[in-house]
Amino acid sequence: MAIETQPESAQAPGGREPGGPSRQRSWWLRPAWHTAIIGAIIGYALGHWLGNFMTPSFVATGGGAPDDNDTAIVLGYAFLVLGWLIGLGVFNDLIRQMLGKPVNGDDHAETGLARYFRYSLGHKTVGIQYLVGMLVYFFTGGLFAIAIRTELLSPSYHVLSPTAYLEVVGEHGTMMMMMMTSVILGPFGNYLVPLMIGSKRVAFPRIEALSFWLTPCAYIILLSAIPLGGFPTGWTGYAPLSIQAGEGMDAYAFAFGLMGISVVMAGFNIVCTIICYRAPGMRWSRLPMFVWAMLTTGFLLVLAAPVLVGGMYMILTDRTAQTAFFVNQLGGSSYLYEDLFWFFGHPEVYILALPGFGIVSEIIPVFTRKPLFGYKVAAAGMFGVAILSFFVWQHHLFDSGMDPDMRPLFMLTTELISIPTGFIYLVAMGTFWKAKLRLKTPMLFAMGMYVNFLFGGISGVFLSDVPADTTAHGSFFVMAHFHYTIMGGLIFAFFGGIYYWLPKVMGITMNERLGKIHFWTMFITFNSTFMPLFAVGMLGQPRRVFEYARNLETLNDWVSISAFCLGGSLLIFIFNFVMSTVVWRNRAAANPWQARGLEWQVSSPPPPDNFAHIPVVLAGPYEYGDPNALPVADLNPPAGVIGGALTGAGATASAGSEA
């Protein structure tokens, strides 16, 4: 058992001891987004000038007008990030401590709306920052998708040039896969995990805050590829094209690598928090399934994302320092990049899928009023998926010239991973069995997620077979499978989580009727968009081309119109979210769903320190329908529990029960 050592006294966000009043400064002098933007602009200008100064052409002209080059752009991005962090005040506390001065609490203890625009150390503030940021990134990627489907309305009449079309396809794929890596771990993980395990804070508040504030930098840098001419490689960035491409490729590689650093820090922080900050009595067998999902996802991020970061910065050194990691003619290997990328890229699929399963596993028991069927099986399934995900990456190379003798091995491992995934799926089906369902909006999204994931899973098993994959490789069939797995799974779970936990986060319920309209329009239009793409792919249309056979025009028109309607369904969510949180503001009860989760046992929104005292957990979160079930936790533990740490005989008894 993890013995909690959090101080019992009230703390300011980030774990600082409360102090006296600090000197208030004018808002424009306090570090926030506006000072970060100023710092980023100055940093980019300085780095760009330095990069040009280092080039032979600048020196040869005696300091004449410099030309843009990869070195200048990459150094500009590096100094942009540094200036952004300096402007945010990330290093202020460190510098004060190095100078022997007290930490100025004013930078982190601010309340009100302004704290969401600052470098805050409160885990709930960071969670909301992540939620808004991820919604912005998701809708930006959605706009690129609308541009793609607009171009594909006709096989011959073009809205975009070939270069612009590839640029839009690359931006869409990279925005979704790069930025959406933290779509659940960022907002829900940071906000809810401490509440769910009975903690007052996360393990490393500064790492948590930094992991978020790197994401706007990555977002801005990725979009800067557009004025630089974009990148022609799609979201995968395959060499040698990535080495030969224009300056927009620098933005891709730097942004993807920066986002990789962000998610490594986020995953490390979540893992440490879950292992070390559980309340007394929070045994492994009592962890909510969402926490299990965050734990396995955190391990995947810590182990897989550094490989991606290495690959991205190897691309940058090939482009700027004339190394030859991926240049075949100079002794490098473009296959090396494929291995590095997909060693991250396939665990990435489960980095997105496992949190979705964690969310719906929290929702289903509440709205069926039944214990989660096969709790231990589901937890084991998540770890099975996490472990096996590192043994399947080369199925992406079936058509890339890999050793044919290796194909049966990776076909086997790919098919094996469907077994622990099936465990997780069957746990939900067992919970549904003979249940009396309450079809509230969160439950509808949870059920929709399982329907969509079934199609994605079946088509995935089909693609794991070498002959079938060789036939469908690079076609819209693969793209349809991928979107059923990720958007049909993760994004439906994401919206279900918003409807489910918003009353906890803001104390406000979203309009139920609009929520159900949102679900049904999104579910119908999603399937109307991506189901026909299986047929389009089998009929021979490849991805990333903007001209196709004329006999496929009707199907593509159907898909495009459905995609526009799918985008419209998301506007319903925006309207509901804004009106519910800003205009209507219907107050929610502290526990509107009558859930047993520890996060629902405190007020909504939660108090600043989460719990007045570190709770003692008495029972699991899914014991619905049992009249003899104990309360989930004692929120006012006896004197034997001090600051969350058991003392004397209490500690011995707890250790014995944990063993």
Report whether pLDDT(18) > 60. Answer: no
Q: For the chain, give the percent of residues with pLDDT over 70.
A: 89
Residues of the chain with CATH 1.20.210.10: 121-584
Rounded Cα–Cα distance for residues 325 and 628 (Å):
63
Give the pLDDT confidence of 74-85 residue by residue, as tens digits: 999 999 999 999
Give the pLDDT confidence of 206-255 residue by residue, as tens digits: 999 999 999 999 999 999 999 999 999 999 999 999 999 999 999 999 99
Residue 258 tokens, joined = 């920066």
Q: What pTM was computed for the model?
A: 0.90
Residue 111 confidence class, pLDDT cut points 50, 70, 90: low
Residue 63 confidence class, pLDDT cut points 50, 70, 90: very low
Rounded Cα–Cα distance for residues 189 and 494 (Å):
12
The Cα angle at residue 508 between residues 366 and 15, in degrees rounded to 5: 85
Using only C-alpha atoms, the chain has a radius of gyration, in whole angstroms, of 25
Helix (H) or strand (E) holding 634: strand 633-634
Give the pLDDT confidence of 118-140 residue by residue, as tens digits: 999 999 999 999 999 999 999 99
Report whether pLDDT(103) > 80. Answer: no
Give the pLDDT confidence of 459-516 residue by residue, as tens digits: 998 898 899 988 898 899 999 999 999 999 999 999 999 999 999 999 999 999 999 9
Give the pLDDT confidence of 363-397 residue by residue, as tens digits: 999 999 999 999 999 999 999 999 999 999 999 98
What residues contact 415, with CB distance under 8 A and at least 6 apart? 461, 464
Helix axes of 205-223 and 33-53: crossing angle, nearest 10 degrees: 60
The third-level CATH classification (topology) of the domain covering 121-584 is: Cytochrome C Oxidase; Chain A (1.20.210)
Rounded Cα–Cα distance for residues 265 and 631 (Å):
35
Residue 299 confidence class, pLDDT cut points 50, 70, 90: very high
Higher per-residue pLDDT: 450 or 21: 450
pLDDT attached to residue 57: 52
Of 590, 640, 591, nearest to 614 by C-alpha is 640
Report whether pLDDT(21) > 50. Answer: no
Length of the chain counted residue by residue: 659
The Cα angle at residue 631 between residues 630 and 634, in degrees rounded to 5: 120
Q: Backbone phi, then psi, for 502, in 5-degree steps?
A: -60, -40
Average pLDDT of the chain to the nearest whole number: 88
- Contacts for 318-326 with beta carbons within 8 Å, 24 or more apart? 318/239, 318/243, 319/70, 319/74, 319/243, 319/249, 319/250, 319/253, 320/70, 320/71, 320/74, 326/239, 326/240, 326/242, 326/243
Give the pLDDT confidence of 567-588 residue by residue, as tens digits: 999 999 999 999 999 999 889 8
pLDDT attached to residue 43: 96
Which of 107-111, 195-199, 253-257 shows the lowest mean pLDDT across its residues? 107-111
pLDDT attached to residue 641: 55
Give the position of tokens 């049966």.
408
Peptide bond into 232 cis (omega under 30): no
Report whether pLDDT(617) > 60. Answer: yes
pLDDT attached to residue 10: 39
Q: Are 122 and 13 in contact (CB under 8 A)?
A: yes
pLDDT attached to residue 93: 86
Residue 27 confidence class, pLDDT cut points 50, 70, 90: low
Q: Backbone phi, then psi, for 577, in 5-degree steps?
A: -65, -50
Helix (H, G, I), strand (E, B) or coil at 154: coil
pLDDT attached to residue 229: 92
Report whether pLDDT(314) > 90. Answer: yes
Give the position of tokens 């962890």.
287
What residues contact 63, with CB distance under 8 A and at least 6 apart? 53
Residue 17 confidence class, pLDDT cut points 50, 70, 90: very low
